[in-house]
Amino acid sequence: MTKYLTHHATVERRFQKSIRLDADLGSIDGLHGYVVHETARAALETTCASIARGQGAFTWTGPYGGGKSSLALSLASSVLPEGEARDTARTLLGECIKPAFDGTPGEWLPVVLTGRRADPVEDLRAATADAVAQSPGSARTKRGHKLDASGQDVILRLSREAEARPDGGVLVIIDEMGKYLEGASDLSIDIHFFQDLAETANRSGGRLIVIGILHQAFDRYAERLGSRVQNEWAKIQGRFVDIPIVTATDEVIDLIGRAITVSVQHSTSASVSELVASDIAERRPGTPDDLAERLDACWPLHPVTASLLGPVTRRRFGQNERSLFGFLSSAEPNGFQEFLDQTRSGSNVTFSPSDLWDYLRINLEPAIQASPDGHRWSLAADAIERAQRHADALHEQIAKTVAIIDLFRNGSGIVASQRIVEACLIAPRATVQAALEDLVRSSSLVFRRHLGAYAVYAGSDFDIEAEIVTRMDERGSLDIRTLNELAGLKPVLAKAHYFDTGTPRWFDTRMTEIGGETVSIFESAVSSEAAGRFILGFPSDRLSLDEAHESVKQASNVQSELPIIVGLPPNYEAVRSLGRELSALRDVQRESAELEGDATARREVEARIALLTGRLEEELRLAFDGAKWFQNGAEITTEEGSMSRLASDQAEIVFKHAPVVHSELANRQKPSSNTNAAIRALLKGVADATGEHRFGIKGYPPEVGLAATTLEATGLYREAEEGWAFVEPANDDFVERNLAPLWSETDKLLASGERIRVADLYDEWRRPPFGVRNGLMPILLVAYLRTRQVKTAVYVENMFQPSLDDLVIDRLLQDPSDIALRRVLTTKNDRTAMKMYAAKAHELTGWSPPAEPLPVAQALVEFAFKLPGWARHAHGALSSAAKSIRRGLLHADDPHDLFAKAFPEAVGGSDGKTGQRVCDALEELRTAQPRMLDELRGKMLAALKHQGSNFEPLQARAHAVENTASDDLKLSGFISRLAAFDGSTAHMEAICGLVTGQPVSGWRDLEPKRAAVQLADFAYRFRRVELFGDTGEAPTQTAVMMMAGVGTAERSVVRRAQISVAEQATIEPIASEIRKRLQQEGLSQDLLLAVLAEVSHDLLEDDGEADVTVPLIPEEEASA
């Protein structure tokens, strides 16, 4: 099995674990293996000497991983009353601590704590109490009953403890003291506590010793603050004696050798270590004689890499400082641990300087570019890019090796000489020499003869620092609008409110400058989609801290419907400073012509911008989290870092009646296109299938989920005894309580009886205290209308809509301003008439509407639109009242106007009989077309010589001649319809439509008269066919003709008649009786004829037929 270096090389566990001073005190593990190097010993000796001169407050400052915490642990352990840890520590520290900390065992009280971003007063108070409690014997002092926020009670107790120990004192060690300083700059923690503590220690005569451990200089923690605050911090710093603890390069190499444990031989590395050690010795006097052995102990780090790690870890790369042991132990990309995992054992490959370059580039490049080393790093990166054009890995490795050595050679004794470069690479010397010459020719590297070494070619002389200073001077103070643009502030989500109500609400974030006046309208205008605004107020430079506090307080008095909260950030000067620098840097990037041909400078500017942007974002985060917030002149108390909580609290107050609807789809200000389609499908289901579960929607499309979350979960649509129905929300129901105020407010808006546009209604819903989102509005509105359908009228473009159908839904979703609502109001005097209208509506339509204006109007309008065609258009055949009622119903756009104005005007006024007159007119409309058809049916049957309601004889007559008029299609159709005629309205409409050539539904006023004439004509033609048609069947009719002329009349009239066979049989007895009576009289033939003529003349009447008339002439003329 292939083995890798990770099986043979490990980092000692004690170097992987950092010291935790308060946890490790008293334990031997934290001291095991610790070596007090000269740097640490010198720092401790300086501290003790200063104590002897009366100084009591110190700071130990040095980079991460420099052994400060281990030294502090040793010192604190050395003053423990007893135990192995005390003995070990005193052995390690030796004689150097005796002048200051020698005394009776147990007389010194060690108080240790580890810093954090919190109040140091509270932490030191607790640490002191713990130390006293753990000290052997009875407590020498008691904790004060009165706690002081400024920490005076803590300082007093420490002083009393020191006075109670005449042969010792109190040793206070604050590890990670910088965390408290960072908290002081970010979270408004009072740093003056440290000043008071230091002054007390300096007056204690060596009995109270305070040591704070820092990773950077005291004033560096205040560099983000304004000059005024920096001056105050400088005074505090002056109370402490700062002692640097910066491990020397040789000590770092020794520490690395102790940290790495190797279980395999690496004999080939010794020669390289000797070469590197001799090269260092030539350039750095005082190099230890065993440097080669120390370097070789660092394997599998290359000796050059080991020599560079000290300077690298001492550099400040923004806020990303790395300790030596952090580098050795971390699993970062291209780091030492990854190298061990991927390098085969026996390959003689070491972690080379080029590997160190790759590690720094991948993990720390942005921070390095923004640091003081940024310009040189950019030059090196540009040179490596040029070297990569050779398409040869060796050229790239050489460039990286020279670059990393050139960057961090100061203090290491290493330079990029030819033999050092050759020692860093696994390649023949001649090949390396040729590659170096190539890189020099291509202006990637340059050979510096005075050093005898290669360096990165400085291809850029652009002075970015000078340009930034120039731009800052030109700009002067920072424009707050520019700062807003640079910051790119993000809104704050009210998360708790979102969780409780299902409605996501955001608060805008802005910054403004405050100089005692109120916040400008520009800054306080909340955007339409926001629920409020947080404004960070930046006091002008002329204001003190107290004045700034009062100005922000006064500025928070903003009149606004939505909450405007103004805050004073603790680090406003740091934000302003970063904003000025970033703004200047952007000006340089945008306006400096020199950058166009300088890729190195451009890279450096871009890196600086990226880092400053990140730092500004972090400062703004701290500003918002640590600000003191004011609203309406009063401070709002909130937990640290709880902007979202504060936003939720405000949202709960402002939107106290917000609907609780947990719908991720609909409860949005801008629903997606898919959600809008689902809303449309759901509302059309509501319009078509109310009463069914899920509104008849099959399967599980998105609209089913919408129905469940928006209508069923809120209790608006639920199962009742008669099926599913919409239910009005009520305050006594927990589920519905959140919607009852919305329903109530909507009722109030409509209470006036005036038309209210839905768009205006939506505007009210959006405002506090409801804050309904756009996606929910159409769903809740349709639900409201379903629970108020008896009392609320709906209009589309001012036209009344009798029902909530697909048209209304489509227009509602397309443009709510096209839809209007109106509450239909009734008076006591109208109720009697309304009951009559409701009863009449039931008679006319078959369904019983409640005696309310809207449902009654809906029923009557439906009746009007369903009237037969002629009844909807006729004029002459209808009364004026009926026509006015019909017109009012067909053009109804308002139930209130219909009953209050149109109906009374139609029947001649409003009185106690108005209802009855309207009902009579409605009845006239209902019967108009049937009555007209009845009249036409009577005329047709008379013309056909048919009597009675038995139509079988007529049908038989038609069947007898059905096939004799084939040459006349309309007459044939008429006969065919008579053959099936049963007297019904439908059959009559069919015959009328045939004879007029126009369906009855399209008739107007004149068509009934035309139809009467045509029916008489077709009846006459039908009877002629009966008389003269050759049917081939037994006749059903008999023709009778009589000519009569009496007295002096000039003309005689010929009459024809048709009788059926059955009628002929009926008249035979009558004819026989008449004949017999005439014979009994014994009249002559002339007299007999005269009698018959006289009787016929009297009895013959006009039957409507145009019979033939002939002139009367004397008989002699006729015989002639």
Write the pLDDT tens digit of every residue in 241-266: 998 888 777 888 888 888 888 988 88
Residues 991 and 1045 in one domain: no
Task: Tell me: do 147 and 232 sit in the same domain.
Answer: yes
| 3-class secondary structure, 1072 | helix
Residue 400 pLDDT greater than 80, yes or no: yes
Residue where a domain terminates, one of 1002, 1028, 1054: 1028
For residue 659, being part of any structural domain is answered with: no
- The sign of the CA dihedral 319, 320, 325, 329 is positive
pLDDT band at 1107 (very low <50, low <70, confident <90, very high): very low
Q: Report pLDDT for 145.
A: 60
Domain containing residue 1005: 944-1028
Asked if residues 372 and 378 have their Cβ atoms less than 8 Å apart, the reply is: no
- Of 1028, 1054, 1079, the residue that ends a domain is 1028
Q: Rg of the Cα trace of the chain?
A: 55
Tell me which residue of 582, 586, 573 sits closest to 622, measured CA to CA. 573
Phi-psi region of 130 (alpha: psi -120 to 50; beta: other; left: phi over 0): alpha
> What phi and psi, each to the nearest 5 degrees, are found at residue 1097?
-65, -40
| CB within 8 Å of 267: residues ≥ 6 apart | none
**C-alpha span between 329 and 13 (Å, rounded):** 9
Distance CA 612, CA 578 (A): 7
Q: Give tens-digit pLDDT for 1015-1067.
A: 989 888 888 888 776 555 555 555 555 555 555 544 555 566 666 666 777 88
Determine, yes or no, domain membership for 863.
yes
Confidence band, pLDDT 50/70/90 cuts, at residue 1118:
very low
Is 665 among the domain residues? Answer: no
Q: Output the pLDDT for position 782.
A: 95
**The amino acid at 70:** S
How high is the pLDDT of residue 1112? 41
Q: 794 with 876, same domain? A: no
Residue 1070: Cβ-neighbour burial (10 angstroms; 0-12, 13-18, 19+): exposed
Domain-embedded: residue 1067? yes
Mean pLDDT of 29-35: 76
Residues 25 and 169 occupy one common structural domain: yes
**What is the per-residue pLDDT across 186-231, written as a single tens digit (0 to 9) for each?**
555 677 888 999 999 999 888 899 999 988 877 777 766 666 667 7
Taking only the tens place, the pLDDT of each residue in 718-743 is: 888 888 999 988 765 545 457 999 99
Q: Are residues 573 and 424 in the same domain?
A: no
User: Do 967 and 909 belong together in one domain?
Assistant: no
Q: Which of 805, 823, 841 is the last residue of a domain?
A: 823
Indicate if 310 and 351 belong to the same structural domain: yes
Residue 560 confidence class, pLDDT cut points 50, 70, 90: confident
Binned at pLDDT 50, 70 and 90, residue 320 comes out as very low
Rounded Cα gap, residues 380 and 439, in angstroms: 13
User: What's the mean per-residue pLDDT of the chain?
Assistant: 83
Residues 325 and 264 in one domain: yes
Please, which residues have CB within 8 angstroms of residue 379's CB and are 6 or more apart in sequence?
A: 456, 457, 458, 459, 460, 600
| CA distances to 60, 197, 885, 918 from 240, in Å | 10, 10, 101, 103
Contact 661, 777 (CB under 8 A): no
Judged against a pLDDT cut of 60, whether residue 948 lies above it is answered with yes
Of residues 162 and 831, the one with the higher pLDDT is 162
pLDDT digits (tens, 9 = 90+) for 1024-1038: 888 776 555 555 555
Phi and psi at residue 503, in whole multiples of 5°?
-105, 115
Q: Where is pLDDT greater, at 547 or 225?
A: 547
From residue 168, give the alpha-carbon distance in Å to each of 55, 74, 101, 198.
Answer: 16, 17, 7, 18
* Comparison of pLDDT for 911 and 581, the residue scoring more: 581
pLDDT tens-place string over residues 599-641: 777 877 887 888 788 888 888 888 888 888 999 889 887 665 5
Asked if the structure places residue 664 within a domain, the reply is no
Query: Which of these, 62, 82, 81, lies nearest to 72 by C-alpha position?
Result: 62
Q: What is the mean pLDDT of residues 33-40?
A: 80
CA angle centred on 376, ends 374 and 378, rounded to 5°: 70
For the beta carbon of residue 684, count every other beta carbon within 10 angstroms.
Answer: 18
Flag whether 913 is in a domain.
Answer: yes
Q: How far apart, in whole angstroms, are the C-alpha atoms of residue 451 and residue 227?
A: 42
Total structural domains in the chain?
7
Taking the alpha carbons at both ends of the chain, their separation in whole angstroms is: 156
Does some domain include residue 520?
A: yes
pLDDT band at residue 319 under the 50/70/90 scheme: very low
d(C-alpha 558, C-alpha 825), whole Å: 42
pLDDT confidence of residue 733: 52
| Same domain as 581, residue 599 | yes
Average of per-residue pLDDT across 55-84:
85
- CA distances (Å), origin 754, targets 421, 765, 812, 823, 827: 92, 18, 19, 7, 16
Same domain, 231 and 325: no
**Same domain for 395 and 276:** yes
**The pTM of the whole model exceeds 0.75:** no
Confidence of residue 770 (pLDDT cuts 50, 70, 90): very high
**Given the DSSP bridges, would you call strands 717-720 and 506-514 parallel, antiparallel or unpaired?**
unpaired
CA distance readout (Å), 441 to 271, 390, 415, 435: 31, 12, 20, 10
Burial class for 221, CB neighbours closer than 10 Å (0-12, 13-18, 19+): buried
Q: Do 846 and 957 share a domain, yes or no?
A: no
1034 lies in some domain: no
| Per-residue pLDDT, 1060 | 66
pLDDT for position 14 = 67
